[in-house]
Structure 1
Amino acid sequence: MFIRTAEEIASGMFARSLKCVRCGKEYPLKKFYKCPSCGGVLDVKYDYVKLADEVDLRSLFSKRGLNLWKYIDFLPIRKSSEIVSLGEGMTPLLKAERLGESLKVKSLYLKDETRNPTSSFKDRPYTVGVSKAKEFGVKAAVVASAGNAAASLAAYSARAGIKCYVFVSENVPAHRLLEIQAYGAEVIRVKQVPDGVFRITVSASEKFGWYNLTTSFYNPYTVEGDKTIAYEIYEQMGFEVPDWVIIPVGVGPLLVGCYKGFNELRNLGLVNEVPKMVGVQSEGCAPIAKAFEENRSEVEPWKGELKTVARSIVNTLQEYPDEGTYTLQIIRRSKGWALAVSDDEILRAMDDLATAEGILAEPASATVIAALRRLL
């Protein structure tokens, strides 16, 4: 067990340590990435006994909140003055009645994360990650991304007054970088495949002291923002949780974070069960789904051709297959499922969402409806 410092105890924060999910060693809530001992993923641990004793949980989950920071007691930030927010969270949970009827699903809900400030769920991990960076006194942050993650980090870094560096591979089209650059981030093109770009951010972080906020499991604090989706669903469903939750995955922190949130609700006695978690990938890059289908205990890097319309969930896991393995373990722990869907199924799902529910979803998001069709 790791003993918290007097400063941490005095802060009123219920987060107590970082714990390796592989070897179990615990570390203080400092600027760690992976476990210094074994290289495993680090998870933020909380004093739930103290939290339950000092926080009126029924009142917390009943009161209206303007953003996800109503859940600050479940997040690893010492002072509210350090919070960097753009009003993220509290996104609507839409009942998809027409689509549900066509699929013969009685209660089908869609969590609309486009309502976040930069139109992506990535604002959740980055409001927490950048707030933690501010707490650490960070002057610059770095990320490997050319999509939603880069745009979100650029926006939150601008809000915090932190310099943002974004590494992308040289073949990324210029138009995809316009939003990122609009927030003042410095984009650096490199002659590397996507996984190699991440490796360069690690080197840059070590050399220049930039805080690495790439949204895999590399930074342990960002995942904590993802779990707030679970709290919101619990509230929006009248203090109940669904039987199944289907989530697109590249590496898997969103799925793992949501599972953690639901599991916290169960451990605190607020619900009796947690949903079965379903991780969806594209057939064009599906290392986690392949491991699940083949009943393997570990995920291997994807070696097939990368060809899919769902580009935002493409991740070969060449640099960190252990993170895919962690996601696989959580899926199995929840008694859930992992599967891959084809581009034709994804395009059909996009059409279904648009024509039945008035929702224009990007391909990666539409994979959940394609997966639902497979599971029925």
Structure 2
Amino acid sequence: MLKNVRYAKCVKCGKEYEATPNTTTCECGGILDIVYNYDYIKSTFNKGVLSLNREQSMWRYRPLLPVEPDSAPTPLRVGWSPLYKADNLAKALGLKTLYVKDDGQNPTASLKDRASAMAVVKAREAGATTIACSSTGNAASSLAGNAAAAGIPTYIFVPSRAPKGKVAQLRIFGATVISVDGSYEDTFELSKAAIEKWGWYNRNAAINPYLSEGKKTVTLEIMEQLGWQVPDYIALSVGDGCTIAGAWKGLKDLYNIGFIDKLPRLISVQAEGCCPLNRAIMTDTPWQPMEENTLADSIAVGVPRNADKALMAIRESNGLVINVSDDEILAAMRLLGRTQGVFGEPAGVTGTAGVKKALELGLLDPDSTVVSVVTGNGLKDVANGIRAAGEPMLVKPDMDALLSAFKANGINP
């Protein structure tokens, strides 16, 4: 029994369960939340103790993570990604203070490495020999990479629309990849059936309550990197809801152990073509499934599996909900790259697109301090990178041809 964890609790009916490595969902179908023993944590963990920790990864926060004291961390370095003070972008947007958390610098180039690293550790604790999941791409590649480093085979189910860059990662990492000719919902259901049939360890975020605990380390890092000075807002792209739920959980954990004295508001950003969670908030109605009509594949989730936790996080934080078009997402890719040198994939920059739109709509005070989380690297989806930035000039190896190309493109060196 973990000393820092009390139990797992259903977010729907409130039933409590022992937090074992194999804990999944409630018998009512609700997702479980890991509940911590904050009094015990405060007796052994404080800012001074943390400042002496030389571990530069997500595992520096072990007192706030549901892992056994003797559980080895994953071999890949996950977490402690840079937080940039984005003055150029802030000026372009008309915002006083903006920070960009570049989580595309994780080992497999997305924030989801945090969840997968946690899944690998819990799978080891459970004695599992195989791990499986369904994914639109990033969860899949992060699991395949982290599991490969730990010597654990994986079975990965992805929609056939998954970008080639992410599929290439899966194959390079040695995963058994099943490309499903259907939606993400179809992919999830097939993975669920296969996991039940063969007894694989389940990395699916809406089934495994430990994955949000890995994802929450992104906000633990943000707060430490800001010297525990809480920003007004944290903006995140949202798909199945696991990331924003985890981010909020991390903030509440820090508040409950006294590391921060207030909580920021969240900005939940979804693509207009697939925004079931934001639509539920905007209309104050239960969420309903939607088509997956967006180029931001990582957040193209028409049936979000972590809806309860995500909606709770947005409401508890008095958060903003912003929907952005695919064109606005592509524009954010260009703007983030040209002002800050950060290359994000479409879903990775959706949070930044939402900050821009919130300012334009007058929903965000220009004097605010905002952190925008870039959740994935643009090299995962180079086709949309070129779509956002345009093809390069093609010229003959001749100075006259170069001068003509410059003139045609309005370039005056």
Give the TM-score normalised by the residue count of structure 1: 0.91
Distance 2:108 2:185 in 1: 24
Correspondence 1:189 to 2:179: yes
Shift, 1:123, TM fit: 0.8
Return closer, same or farther for 1:107/1:42 CA change in 2, 3 Å cut-off: same
Aligned to 2:316: 333
The one of 189, 200, 204 equivalent to 1:210 is: 200
Q: CA deviation at 1:79?
A: 3.2
1:193 deviates by 2.3
What corresponds to 2:220 in structure 1? 231
Alignment match, 1:141 = 131
Alignment of 1:354 onto 2:337 = yes
Amino acid at match of 1:34: T
Distance 2:208 2:325 in 1: 31
Q: Deviations over 1:176-215 (max 9, x none)?
A: 4221011111112334322111111111111111011023
In the alignment, is residue 69 of structure 1 matched against residue 59 of structure 2? yes
Q: Which residue of 2 is the match for residue 32 of structure 1?
A: 23
1:375 is matched by which residue type in structure 2?
A
SS at match of 1:262: helix
Unaligned runs of 5+ in 2: 360-413
Paired residue secondary structure (2:239): coil
- Identity of paired residues, percent? 38
The 5 Å alignment of 1:315-326 reads: 315-317=301-303, 320=305, 323-326=306-309
Q: Secondary structure at the match of 1:241?
A: coil
Distance 1:364 1:77, change over 3 A: same
Question: How many angstroms apart in 1 are the aligned matches of 2:179 and 2:99?
Answer: 39
Number of aligned positions between the proteins:
358
Residues in 2 aligned to 1:62 and 1:314: alpha-carbon distance in whole angstroms: 41
Q: Which residue of 2 aligns with 1:3?
A: none
- 2:257 aligned with 1:268, yes or no? yes
Look up the SS of the partner of 1:82 in the other structure.
coil
- The change in CA–CA distance for 1:86 and 1:175 in structure 2 (over 3 A counts) is closer
What does the per-residue CA deviation read over 1:17-64, in whole Å, with 9 as the maximum and x for residues that have no partner?
21111111111122122102x111101111110111122343215644
CA drift at 1:175: 5.7
Distance 2:317 2:160 in 1: 39
Per-residue Cα deviation, 1:214-269 (whole angstroms, up to 9, x for no partner) = 23x22101110111111111111112121100000001111111111111111112
Quote the Cα distance in structure 1 between the aligned partners of 2:51 and 2:190.
41
Q: Which amino acid aligns with 1:354?
A: G
- Once residues 368 and 160 of structure 1 are traced to their aligned partners in structure 2, the CA distance between those partners, rounded to angstroms, is 32
Distance across 1 between alignment mates of 2:166 and 2:221: 31
SS at match of 1:73: helix
Per-residue CA deviation, residues 334-365 of structure 1 (Å, 9 max, x unaligned), is 01111210112112111111111111211112
> For the Cα contact (< 8 Å) 1:354–1:360, is it kept in 2?
yes
Distance 1:237 1:172, change over 3 A: closer
Aligned 8 A contact 2:137 2:162 in 1: no
Match of 2:411 in 1: none
* Secondary structure in structure 1 of the residue aligned to 2:26: coil
Does residue 108 in structure 1 map to residue 98 in structure 2? yes
Matched ranges for 1:58-137 at <5 A: 58-61=48-51, 63-137=53-127
1:300 alignment partner AA: Q
Aligned residues of 2:271 and 2:324 also touching (Cα < 8 A): yes
Deviates more, 1:187-196 or 1:217-226: 187-196
Partner of residue 293, structure 2? 307
Tell which structure's C-alpha radius of gyration is larger: 2
Quick one: structure 1 residues 263 and 61, their matched pair in 2 at CA, closer, same or farther if it must change by over 3 Å?
A: farther
- Structure 1 gaps of 5+ residues are 1-7
**Structure 2: distance between partners of 1:147 and 1:345:** 22
Give the C-alpha shift of residue 370 in structure 1: 1.7
Asked whether the 8 Å contact 2:89–2:335 carries over to 1, the reply is yes
Query: What's 1:254 paired with?
Result: 243
Q: Does 1:343 align with 2:329?
A: no
CA change 1:252–1:173 in 2 (3 A) is closer
| 3-state SS, counterpart of residue 185 of structure 2 | helix
Aligned runs of 1:15-30 on 2, under 5 Å? 15-30=5-20
Distance in 2 (alpha carbons) for counterparts of 1:148 and 1:375: 27
Does the CA-based 8 Å contact 1:283-1:341 persist in structure 2? yes
Contact 1:147 1:176 in 2 (8 A): yes
The 3 A distance-change label for structure 1 pair 61 and 294 is farther
Report the Cα distance in structure 2 between the residues aligned to 1:88 and 1:32, rounded to whole angstroms: 23
Q: Which amino acid aligns with 2:90?
A: G
Task: Tell me whether 81-90 or 106-115 shows the greater mean CA deviation.
Answer: 81-90
Report how far residue 275 of structure 1 moved.
0.8
Partner SS, residue 97 of structure 2? coil
Change (3 A) 1:175 1:64: closer
Cα separation, 2, equivalents of 1:21 and 1:105:
36
